[in-house]
């Protein structure tokens, strides 16, 4: 992890000193697949698996460097607000202009889940884990300073980002269950405003 951050810092620092740069604000509505495994105790019982589509929102900044006339590199620190799916997201995204307004993009997002979460207690808890994503998508420039993007993200591990504990009673016995959540995919919609050129 430290090596990744060091390489990321070096790339961004180098680009800022060698290319025209801009800084902007981003709002990112997020749709994701919340998959969870339900484990019962104290007896070892069969586990159940479920999935549901949920939403969150990210707010952050974007530092964009024009490497060439058609290729740009963006560093996007964002905080994702959600009940359990939340935390600091660091994105490193490259984009390629296929026309004056349309561009393709690809890169990685690194989510540090659970940081800053208020969902922590006996019954519900956001877990502090690192979840890397491979991202790809496209963008459209309404104007040179107002981009809209859509990203499709696939996680590279199945780390849990949260769990929910509950008590369940039946006629014959009483058990507890814990749901361990992980994400299967994530779609990020991004609306931006670039307000500073360096």
The answer to whether 31 touches 55, Cβ cutoff 8 Å, is yes
The pLDDT value given to residue 169 = 56
* Highest mean pLDDT (candidates 32-36, 104-108, 173-177): 104-108
Q: Which of 9-18, 22-31, 37-46 has the lowest mean pLDDT?
A: 9-18
Which tokens is 91 given? 């994105």
Tens digit of each residue's pLDDT (9 = 90 or more) over 128-164: 889 999 999 999 999 989 999 999 999 999 888 887 7
CB-CB neighbours of 182 under 10 Å: 22
The pLDDT value given to residue 8 = 55
Strands 124-126 and 102-113: unpaired
Which residues touch 125 (CB under 8 Å, ≥6 apart)? 119, 162, 163, 164
DSSP 61: E
The pLDDT value given to residue 104 = 97
Q: What is the rounded average pLDDT of the residues 108-114?
A: 92
DSSP 100: S
In the predicted model, is pLDDT for residue 13 greater than 70? no
Strand partners, 70: none
Q: Residue written as tokens 């070892």?
A: 44
Residues of the chain with pLDDT > 90: what percent? 47
The answer to whether 109 touches 152, Cβ cutoff 8 Å, is no
Question: pTM of whole model > 0.85?
Answer: no
The answer to whether 123 touches 152, Cβ cutoff 8 Å, is no
The answer to whether 24 touches 2, Cβ cutoff 8 Å, is no
Length of the chain: 198
CA distance 84 to 79: 13
The answer to whether 87 touches 115, Cβ cutoff 8 Å, is yes
**Distances, alpha carbon 176 to alpha carbons 42, 53, 66, 131, 168, in Å:** 7, 25, 54, 28, 6
Q: Which of 41-45, 94-98, 138-142, 191-195 has the lowest mean pLDDT?
A: 41-45
Which residues touch 37 (CB under 8 Å, ≥6 apart)? 47, 48, 49, 179, 180
Q: What is the rounded average pLDDT of the residues 178-184?
A: 82
Q: With cut-offs at 50, 70 and 90, classify the pLDDT of residue 29.
A: very high
In the predicted model, is pLDDT for residue 179 greater than 70? yes
Walk me through the domains of the chain, giving residue ranges and CATH numbers. 25-197 (2.40.160)
The pLDDT value given to residue 14 = 56
CA distance 81 to 143: 28
Higher pLDDT, 183 or 103: 103
């Amino acid at each position: 992890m430290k090596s990744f951050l060091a390489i990321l810092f070096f790339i961004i620092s180098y680009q800022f000193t060698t290319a025209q740069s801009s800084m902007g604000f981003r709002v990112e509505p997020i749709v994701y697949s919340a998959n969870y495994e339900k484990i019962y105790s104290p007896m070892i019982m069969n586990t159940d698996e479920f999935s549901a589509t949920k939403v969150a929102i990210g707010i952050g900044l974007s530092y964009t460097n024009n490497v060439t006339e058609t290729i740009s590199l963006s560093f996007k620190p964002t905080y994702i607000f959600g009940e359990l799916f939340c935390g600091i997201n660091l994105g490193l995204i490259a984009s390629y202009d296929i026309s004056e307004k349309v561009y393709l993009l690809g890169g990685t997002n690194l989510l540090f889940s659970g940081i800053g979460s208020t969902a922590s207690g006996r019954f519900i808890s956001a877990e502090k884990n690192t979840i890397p994503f491979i991202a790809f998508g496209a963008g459209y420039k309404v104007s040179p300073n107002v981009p809209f993007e859509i990203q499709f993200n696939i996680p590279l591990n199945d780390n849990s980002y949260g769990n929910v504990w509950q008590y369940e009673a039946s006629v014959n016995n009483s058990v507890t269950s814990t749901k361990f959540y992980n994400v299967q995919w994530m779609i990020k919609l991004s609306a931006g405003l670039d307000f500073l050129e360096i």
